């Protein structure tokens, strides 16, 4: 009967017949179809103004017995809200009062009207007639609809059904309708109590500045506030109960419980599920199968924020079964926020299935283009784009406002864009956010033409010094490049040192030695540069002949001098010992004698032909050690008669210091060659 009834209704009320009502006779049936046969032409009233397309669509949905019940009720609610429009009210009256109306359609309409927040006063006569003939099952819905009219007359209609002689179900329905209409939960369920409230409400409405609507809707708003507070308290209790239950559950059984919590329809409980999952992932990177299934199921949630949260976790966990679910969800997603989270998750599986969603959101979603660019970068790194695709991707990234460019978008545009794109990025490196500047500097560091731009940006952003060092090391590994990095600000001394060392790793030997001269008070940096120069010189000396060997000798000498100035005789000796025998070592002899003397190896030092000045240097460095007399004896035996006046004066001063130290404390023992030099002697100038 459903299709025939729908066609009759549409004919009576001047509507177009919906496609689903276009019933054709089956094989063997006789008679014309409903579309070709006039319906009740003699009894049909003169057509009045018909309802518009939206109302017609809602009516068709109400009459469609095959449609989901919830959709039909929503359509009925929308029609009821428009009951103040005469054509719509006429349709509703015809369906609700008509003897031939399908009972299921009448029930759908009443349920929709009962859920309506507000009905027009014009609907009250219809509701009054319905209330007079409704049975106990339908009456509560009629009364809820009458209450939604919210006029004194409508409320009095509902009050009549508080009569003590009526069944309790009717009286309960009337009380519920009155409370919903007015928000007055405290009024007792009697006609007298509600009449008294109505009198007071009318008196308040008559006062200046007030109105009936203000009085009634004020009560409704207060009830909404109370209900909101109650719901919040109940949700908090529910969350606390679930949390306690989860903590009391054995670890091996928590997965099933967490899956249930994630699937709970109460938003607060579901939020607890995400919180608990976050904690579990700290210790267990892969959640149980039940939890994974729950997460994948939430990708189909009707709430965009829930889909987005689930996508974030799926992307973090990246289960093998997640790719298909993510791509299916992404294909049907329309919400930008959820799409962004899904794109991020899908980036874990860059492949052909990601192509269309990325291009779609790059070209059609301004708010999510930056996230789509991150996914496009993952596709680019996986070599999944064709040349034609890359042109579309670049065009999409160019459409992103500069302040919204994500780090991935910056890197992607630097990689696939034009020279003009990269120049624009280099300008953004001076004005963009910290993450943008870092991403651009990282992306452009491999291009020689952007070294100066990176150095300029790093001059005002200490966080960029590492990228600047990388660019200089790759394209300008000279003393000039080293000086440029040395002038940059850094977060701390270690960051500056790491940057300079990165440049130093790429510099030639001569430039390393020059850099060591310019290192200022950074002793650690000076030592590193000299050690690096020595290592590089040793490698080059085997192949490059005399020039390399001369650099090797210079590097060893300068490193040894620096170590001796710090009182590190063993390290100085090790630097000199690293020089191959074929390298001329005469320039190292004075330093070797001093180092051996500082280590107490005086007899070994005597084997080298050193001048009196060298031995005076050795004595000066060892004046507080117990072998100082042995060094003094070398001077007395081999040099004292021939000392110059200046040398004699220096020796006399050292003798006085020896006597003074001997009278003050026992002589010190020299440090072993492999022992740490602590405490160190006061740094002295290197030997002359």
Q: What is the pLDDT of residue 367?
A: 86
What element of type H or E holds 447?
none
What element of type H or E holds 110?
helix 103-114
Q: What is the pLDDT of residue 582?
A: 56
Report pLDDT digits (tens) over 608-632: 888 999 999 999 999 888 889 999 9
- CA–CA dist 462, 594 (Å, integer): 43
What is the average pLDDT across 464-468? 97
Q: 579 or 194: which carries more pLDDT confidence?
A: 194
Q: What is the pLDDT of residue 31?
A: 33
Q: Where are the alpha helices (DSSP H) in 399-508?
A: 407-416, 419-431, 434-444, 451-458, 465-475, 479-486, 493-506
pLDDT confidence tier of residue 38, bands split at 50, 70 and 90: very low
Lowest mean pLDDT among 96-100, 199-203, 390-394: 96-100
What is the average pLDDT across 118-124? 92
State the sign of the Cα–Cα–Cα–Cα dihedral 668, 669, 670, 675: negative
What is the average pLDDT across 361-366? 88
What is the average pLDDT across 111-116? 91
- Which of 88, 95, 102 has its CA nearest to residue 53? 88
Report pLDDT digits (tens) over 646-676: 999 999 999 999 888 877 765 555 554 444 4
Q: What is the pLDDT of residue 446?
A: 95
Q: Does residue 469 register a pLDDT over 90?
A: yes
Q: What is the pLDDT of residue 133?
A: 85
Q: Does residue 279 register a pLDDT over 80?
A: yes
* DSSP result, 631-656: HHHHHHHHTGGG--HHHHHHHHHHHH
Q: Does residue 549 register a pLDDT over 70?
A: yes
What is the average pLDDT across 478-485? 96
CB-side exposure of 457: number of CA atoms within 13 Å?
32
CB 390 within 8 A of CB 416: yes
Q: What is the pLDDT of residue 48?
A: 53
Report pLDDT digits (tens) over 488-528: 999 999 999 999 999 999 999 999 999 999 987 789 999 99
Q: What is the pLDDT of residue 60?
A: 94
354 CB-contact burial (10 Å; exposed 0-12 / middle 13-18 / buried 19+): buried
What is the token pair recorded at 218?
Answer: 């004020």
Q: What is the pLDDT of residue 4?
A: 43
Estimate to the nearest angstrom the gap between the alpha carbon of 403 and the chain centroid. Answer: 17
Which are the contacts of 263, defined by CB distance < 8 A and separation ≥ 6? Answer: 270, 273, 294, 297, 298
Q: Does residue 134 register a pLDDT over 70?
A: yes
Please provide the CATH number assigned to the domain covering 2-222: 1.25.10
Instruction: Please give the angle made by the CA atoms of 51, 52 and 57, to the nearest 5 degrees.
Output: 95
Q: Does residue 181 register a pLDDT over 50?
A: yes
CB 687 within 8 A of CB 595: no
Lowest mean pLDDT among 38-42, 181-185, 488-492: 38-42
- CA–CA dist 202, 212 (Å, integer): 7
pLDDT confidence tier of residue 638, bands split at 50, 70 and 90: confident
- Rounded to the nearest integer, the mean pLDDT of the chain is 87
Q: What is the pLDDT of residue 26?
A: 35
Q: Where are the alpha helices (DSSP H) in 206-285?
A: 212-248, 254-262, 267-283
Q: Does residue 191 register a pLDDT over 90?
A: yes
Q: What is the pLDDT of residue 538?
A: 86
pLDDT confidence tier of residue 44, bands split at 50, 70 and 90: very low
Q: Does residue 40 register a pLDDT over 60?
A: no
What is the average pLDDT across 596-604? 92
What is the average pLDDT across 71-83? 93
What is the average pLDDT across 202-223? 92
Give percent of the chain with pLDDT exceeding 70. 88
Q: Does residue 14 register a pLDDT over 60?
A: no
For the beta carbon of residue 233, count every other beta carbon within 10 angstroms.
Answer: 10
- Which of 366, 316, 361, 371 has its CA nearest to residue 334? 361
């Amino acid at each position: 009967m459903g299709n025939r009834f729908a066609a009759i209704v549409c004919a009576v009320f001047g509507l177009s017949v919906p496609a689903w009502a276009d019933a054709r006779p089956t094989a063997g049936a006789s008679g014309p179809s409903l579309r070709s046969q006039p319906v009740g032409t003699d009894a049909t009233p003169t057509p009045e103004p018909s309802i518009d397309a939206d109302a017609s669509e809602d009516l068709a949905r109400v009459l469609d017995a095959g449609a989901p019940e919830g959709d039909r009720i929503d359509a009925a609610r929308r029609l009821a809200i428009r009951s103040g429009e005469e054509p719509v009210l006429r349709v509703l009256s015809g369906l609700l009062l008509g003897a031939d109306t399908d009972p299921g359609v009448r029930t759908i309409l009443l349920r929709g009207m009962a859920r309506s927040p507000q009905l027009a006063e014009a609907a009250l006569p219809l509701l009054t007639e319905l209330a007079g003939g409704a049975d106990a099952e339908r009456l509560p819905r009629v009364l809820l609809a009458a209450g939604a009219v919210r006029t004194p007359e409508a409320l009095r209609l509902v009050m009549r059904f508080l009569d003590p002689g009526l069944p309790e179900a009717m009286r309960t329905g009337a009380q519920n309708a009155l409370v919903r209409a007015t928000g007055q939960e405290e009024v007792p369920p009697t006609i007298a109590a509600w009449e008294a409230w109505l009198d007071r409400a009318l008196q308040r409405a008559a006062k200046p500045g007030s109105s009936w609507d203000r009085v009634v809707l004020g009560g409704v708003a207060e009830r909404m506030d109370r209900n909101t507070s109650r719901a919040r308290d109940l949700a908090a209790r529910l969350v606390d109960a679930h949390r306690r239950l989860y903590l009391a559950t054995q670890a091996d059984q928590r997965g099933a419980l967490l899956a249930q919590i994630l699937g709970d329809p109460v938003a607060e409980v579901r939020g607890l599920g995400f919180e608990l999952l976050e904690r579990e992932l700290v210790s267990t990177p892969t959640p149980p199968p039940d939890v994974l299934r729950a997460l994948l199921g939430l990708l189909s949630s009707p709430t965009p924020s829930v889909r987005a949260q689930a996508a974030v976790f799926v992307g973090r966990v990246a289960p093998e079964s997640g790719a298909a679910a993510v791509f299916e969800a992404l294909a049907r997603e329309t919400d930008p926020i959820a799409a962004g989270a899904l794109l991020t998750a899908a980036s874990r599986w860059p492949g052909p299935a990601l192509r269309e969603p990325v291009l779609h959101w790059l070209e059609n979603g301004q708010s999510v283009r930056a996230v789509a660019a991150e996914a496009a970068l993952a596709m680019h790194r996986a070599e999944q784009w064709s040349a034609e695709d890359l042109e579309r991707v670049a065009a999409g990234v160019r459409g992103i406002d500069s302040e919204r460019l994500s780090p991935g978008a910056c890197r992607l545009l630097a990689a696939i864009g034009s020279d003009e794109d990269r120049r624009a990025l280099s300008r953004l490196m001076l004005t963009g956010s910290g993450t943008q500047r870092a991403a651009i500097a990282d992306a452009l560091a491999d291009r020689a033409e952007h070294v100066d731009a990176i150095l300029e940006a790093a001059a005002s952003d200490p966080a960029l010094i590492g990228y600047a060092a990388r660019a200089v090391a790759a394209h300008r590994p000279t003393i000039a490049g080293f000086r440029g990095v040395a002038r940059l600000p850094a977060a701390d001394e270690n960051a500056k040192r790491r940057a300079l060392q990165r440049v130093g790793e790429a510099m030639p030997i001569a430039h390393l030695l020059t850099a060591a001269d310019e290192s200022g008070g950074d002793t650690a940096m000076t030592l590193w540069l000299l050690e690096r120069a020595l290592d590089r010189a040793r490698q080059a000396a085997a192949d490059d002949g005399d020039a390399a060997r001369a650099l090797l000798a210079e590097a060893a000498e300068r490193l040894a001098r620096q170590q001796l100035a710090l009182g590190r005789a063993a390290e100085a000796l090790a630097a000199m010992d690293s020089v191959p025998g074929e390298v001329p070592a005469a320039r190292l002899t004075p330093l070797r004698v001093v180092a051996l003397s500082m280590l107490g190896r005086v007899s070994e030092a005597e084997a080298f032909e050193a001048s009196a000045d060298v031995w005076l240097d050795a004595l000066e460095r060892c004046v507080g050690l117990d072998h100082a007399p042995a060094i003094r004896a070398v001077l007395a035996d081999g040099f004292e008669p021939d000392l110059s006046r200046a040398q004699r004066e220096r020796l006399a001063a050292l003798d006085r210091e020896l006597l003074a130290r001997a009278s003050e404390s026992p002589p010190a023992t020299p440090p072993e060659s492999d022992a740490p030099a602590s405490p160190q002697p006061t740094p002295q100038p290197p030997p002359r």
